[in-house]
Chain A
Amino acid sequence: METEVVHTNFKSEEYFINMGPQHPATHGVLRLLLTIDGEIIKKVEPDLGYIHRSIEKMCERDSYQQIVHLTDRMDYLSANINNEAVCLAVENALQLEIPDRVQVIRTIIGELTRIASHCLWWGVMGMDVGALTTYFYGFRDREMINDIMEETCGARLTMNYNVPGGLMHDIHPNFVKRVKDFVAHFKTKLPEYDRLLTENIIFKKRMIGVGILSKEDAISFGASGPVGRASGYSCDVRIHHPYSAIDKVTFNEALRTEGDTYARYLVRIQEMWESLSIIEQLIDVIPEGEHRVVTNAVIKLPKGEYYQKVETARGELGVYIISTGTKNPYRLKFRSPGFSNLSLLNHIAVGGKIGDLVATMATLDLVIPDIDR
């Protein structure tokens, strides 16, 4: 007697496409297995691990000052904020008193990094949808921030400027002037971005109503950052659990309720405006003081578990350290924002077309090394 094998998850009129690890639209090495019927997507399955470098295992071998330079390479677009997360975790565990100057400078550099990341996101968003010149305009503005970082920290992408205890060296004398020039310049550029892309009718038709994520789904999938805020879920770590000098400034949280790709786009544009206002409030009042608190050469955290949350450009990054009192952590885990944001891709892309998938992935703003670590 023969039993017939019935394939339940693959019908005969569907076909199977591999959006492979090397692809211009998946920002990094991400493999997506798509099951498509004509033009409609039936299932999306991400396949991760192509850039796994065992960062968390390396952190078990390194001392706390050396862990900081590994976090640069996770989510490389908000490298300063990642460094700040580990440094804050260690400083809070050791109960060090960090001078005001360090806190204010860390906040300013963090917001500059956020603007740089969103500039790159805007450029790549335009490129994915088809407007190829936006890439260059976004990068031109990012170059100014890179120059600021290079003059003060020494590097453009993997800065390694924060150390547990403060900053590696003091800011350059030109820092304040350069940041002020940049703020003045960027305020004339953001309306131009609006005129070029945001109001464009072709862009609106491709983005409105596409990839809708409801608030309950955002909370249950653990979406954070602009993805969650576009669905109405107020999840900004800077407001709910403030750190560094954030509680000294006032700013609004960018919230929308529609949850489609256009809402995610508008939330990020508004975040850029808010970051500019934070920088403006802080740049003139940097307090004098030390730029570094001297710690031991060998840092040993007391026994226990420590957790620190920060808001990167992608969402909520969490650093969880279990220490047994020695000079290396017993276990260090990063809660990466991209991992939770990627998990909702299957939920929101099903039923749409391939062009919509590209637009949705661009607004989720994934950086694959952040997911794979």
Chain B
Amino acid sequence: MSYFSDIYQGIKTLLTGMSVTGKYFVNSRKGAITQQYPDNRDTLKMFERFRGEVIMPHTEDNEHRCTGCQKCEIACPNGTIEIIWDRGIDEETGKKKKKIDQFVYHLSMCTMCGLCIDVCPTDAIKWGQNFENSVYDRSALTRVLNKPGSKLMAGVED
């Protein structure tokens, strides 16, 4: 007798399975979760905390907030950040002060862990949301984050 109950059970469970996929087929027009990527760039919005790449925001007067304290360079696990700095005379107090020449960021080595942004005392670097970073030439992945001719914003101390 288990022969027949086997057949009956088999057919019943197979039809139940087919009904699940059938339901998705019928609702396929509004159920499709594909995003047609290169065509929807205008409406694509990433979440605000998304980790795309590290950027240094500048104001309209070309000023940034990086004092060259090198805390991010120490916090980075694999040497992605290199800060080239020198000591110059500060105009107000007349003492020697560190200022940065170039903030070199190797995008090819960055693991997007966020420790540099976490530890920066002046909020100089932030997460950018651009994720389309492919290039044809590897040297384009070594970026200098501070724009040429920019200087430290007044009043920022670390």
Our pick among A65, A70, A201 for the contact of B14 (Cβ within 8 Å) is A201
Which of B9, B17, B47, B75 is close to A196, meaning CB atoms less than 8 Å apart?
Answer: B17
A residues 307-347 touching B (CB-CB < 8 Å): none
Cα distance A219–B104 when bound, in Å? Answer: 53
CA distance A197 to B14 in the complex (A): 10
Question: Which stretch in B36-44, B53-61, B107-115, B132-140 binds the other chain?
Answer: B107-115
CA–CA, A196 to B49, complex, Å?
A: 37
- B50 x A150 contact (CB < 8 A): yes
Q: Is the CB of B13 within 8 A of A150?
A: no
Q: Count residues of chain A with CB under 8 A from any CB of chain B.
A: 30
**Residue among A140, A169, A197, A200 making CB contact with B33, cutoff 8 Å:** A140
Given the known A-B contacts A69-B113, A196-B20, are A168 and B49 also in contact in the complex, defined by CB atoms under 8 Å?
A: no
> Across the interface, do B127 and A154 meet the contact criterion of CB distance under 8 Å?
yes
Q: A150 contacts B47, CB within 8 Å?
A: yes
B88 within 8 A of A: no
Known: A195-B16, A201-B13. A160 touches B113 (CB 8 A): yes
Query: Nearest chain B CB to A226's CB is how many angstroms away?
Result: 24
Minimal beta-carbon separation of A62 from chain B (angstroms)? 6
Please, how many angstroms separate the alpha-carbon atoms of A152 and B51 in the complex?
11
B113: chain A residues at CB < 8 Å are 66, 69, 158, 160
Per-residue interface assignment for chain B, residues 102 to 136, with 1 indicating a CB less than 8 Å from any chain A CB and 0 otherwise: 00000000011111001100000001000000000
Docked-complex contact A200 and B17, CB < 8 angstroms: yes
Q: In the complex, A250 Cα to B23 Cα: how many Å? A: 36
In this complex, what residue of B is CB-closest to A152?
B49
A192 near B: Cβ within 8 Å?
yes
Which residues of B in the span 33-84 have a Cβ within 8 Å of any Cβ on A? Answer: 33, 47, 49-51, 71, 75, 77
Tell whether A5 is near chain B: CB-to-CB under 8 Å. Answer: no
A163 interface residue per 8 A CB criterion:
yes
A151 touches B17 (CB 8 A): no
Range, interface on chain B: 20 to 34
Q: Which of A69, A70, A154 has the most CB of B within 10 A?
A: A154
The minimal Cβ–Cβ distance linking B4 to chain A, given in whole angstroms, is 14
Q: Does residue A155 face the partner (Cβ distance < 8 Å to B)? A: yes
A65 touches B47 (CB 8 A): no
User: Which residues of chain B are near A150, meaning CB under 8 Å?
Assistant: 47, 49-50
**Is B21 part of the binding interface, using a Cβ–Cβ cutoff of 8 Å?**
yes
Residue of A69, A133, A143 touching B115 (CB-CB under 8 A)? A69
Residues of B within 8 A of A65 (CB): 75, 115
The answer for the CA separation of A154 and B117 in the assembled complex, in Å, is 13
Question: Within 8 Å CB of A202, what residues of B?
Answer: 14
**CB within 8 Å of B: which of A160-206?**
160, 163, 168-169, 172, 192, 195-197, 199-202
The smallest C-beta distance from A96 to any residue of chain B, in angstroms, reads 18
Whether A154 contacts B13 in the complex (CB less than 8 A), given A65-B75, A168-B114, A196-B21, comes out as no
A202 to chain B, nearest CB (A): 8
CB of A66 to closest CB in B, whole Å: 4
| A150: nearest chain-B partner, CB-CB | B47
Q: B10 an interface residue at 8 Å Cβ cutoff?
A: yes
CA distance A201 to B14 in the complex (A): 7
Q: CB < 8 Å: which of B33, B77, B114 contacts A143?
A: B33
Known interface pairs A168-B114, A200-B13. Does A151 touch B49 (Cβ–Cβ under 8 Å)?
yes
Q: Report yes or no: A201 in contact with B127, Cβ–Cβ below 8 A.
A: no
Residues on A with C-beta less than 8 A from B115 are 65-66, 69, 160
Tell whether A153 is near chain B: CB-to-CB under 8 Å: yes
Give residues of chain A (211-239) contacting chain B, Cβ–Cβ below 8 Å: none
New A-B pairs, 8, CB < 8 Å, besides A66-B113, A69-B77, A297-B119: A65-B115, A66-B115, A69-B115, A151-B49, A160-B112, A160-B113, A195-B16, A195-B19
Q: Top 8 A-B pairs ranked by shortest CB distance? A: A69-B113, A66-B77, A154-B49, A201-B10, A154-B51, A196-B20, A151-B47, A160-B113
Instruction: Provide a sorted-by-A list of 15 A–B residue pairs whose CB atoms are within 8 angstroms.
Output: A62-B77, A65-B75, A66-B115, A140-B33, A143-B33, A150-B50, A154-B49, A155-B50, A158-B113, A168-B114, A169-B49, A196-B17, A199-B17, A201-B9, A201-B13
